[in-house]
Amino acid sequence: MNNVIIFTKTNDSKAKSIGNDIKAFFEKQGIKASFKAGKADLAIVIGGDGTLLGAVRALCEAIPEEKPLPPVLGIHTGSLGFLTESNVNGWKAAIKRGLAKGFIIEERSMLSVTAGENKGKYTVLNDVVVNRNSVARIIDFDVYYNGEFVSNTKADGVIISTPTGSTAYSLAAGGPILHPSIPAFVVTPVSPHTLTNRPIVVADNGVIEVKVKTITDDIIVTLDGQTGVRCSKNRRVVVKKSKRNLRLVRPNDITYFNILRNKLSFGKRG
């Protein structure tokens, strides 16, 4: 290992302090450490899940698509920490173990999204949401899969999520939980105006297309809950599996089902 990138939560003095400690730790090992996104052997994210989503976006923008993203190790200082799994007290042990024995890597699929007036292309880890950027009003849209008409829906919006994103907004809107290893995406309507529109799971080797029929200039496509793309004229959103994967570093003592139980109280009663 020769080069490490460190991302810290914005305006978080605790995260900044830990970042400086980690930088000093690597430099003592003779490994270059930087706070600037770019090509590296490992990326470390200190903060919460939002910080990790922002870091992945920065890496995708800084590294050419034909090049793999570095493995990402998340150190949790936020309120949930579903993706940032290591805790602030265990980062040194986790890094030492990884340097000595190799890091445990879990591949996470991502979305490639084409949207907006200029048909811009974006890479998304969790989800893409199509709705209105105004007061709560429904939109009328059609969903297609591999060119085949699926359904017409009138709802507040629609969420297209990866298995990683299935425990985020999609879950809150009534969507299912997908294990990260499942090669599928979830299409979840947001507050549909009928009892017959329900979330649907589709294979991730197909193309999902959302055509908004409502004529309005306030349609917005939200990417990972952090950035928005306005679609006032071109109200067509195309989503498919990205050529890129996120390589998420997992602590060797934590499994996906551990996280479901500990973070989301999965299976608990009362």
pLDDT at residue 253, as a whole number: 72
The stretch 51-55 carries a mean pLDDT of 95
Please give the model's pTM, rounded to 2 decimal places.
0.93
Q: Which CATH architecture has domain 111-243?
A: Sandwich (2.60)
pLDDT band at 77 (very low <50, low <70, confident <90, very high): confident
> Residues of the chain with pLDDT > 70: what percent?
98
Distance CA 242, CA 74 (A): 22
pLDDT band at 94 (very low <50, low <70, confident <90, very high): confident
pLDDT at residue 90, as a whole number: 82
pLDDT at residue 150, as a whole number: 97
Active site residue 217: no
Flag whether pLDDT at 78 surpasses 70: no
In the chain, list all ranges with CATH 2.60.200.30. 111-243
Q: In the predicted model, what is the mean pLDDT of the chain?
A: 92
- Exactly one of 12, 41, 49, 218 is catalytic; which is it? 49
In the chain, list all ranges with CATH 3.40.50.10330. 3-104+250-264
pLDDT at residue 84, as a whole number: 75
pLDDT at residue 80, as a whole number: 66
Instruction: Give every strand in the sheet of 227-230, ordered side by side.
Output: 200-203, 184-190, 157-161, 127-132, 219-223, 227-230
> Residues of the chain with pLDDT > 90: what percent?
71
pLDDT tens-digit readout, 223-267: 999 999 998 788 899 999 999 999 999 877 778 898 888 888 888
Distance CA 242, CA 221 (A): 17
Flag whether pLDDT at 112 surpasses 90: yes
Q: What is the separation of C-alpha 122 from the centre of its chain, rounded to a whole number of angstroms?
A: 12
Q: Which position has the token pair 């060119």?
A: 147
Domain 3-104+250-264 has CATH 3.40.50.10330: yes
pLDDT at residue 113, as a whole number: 97
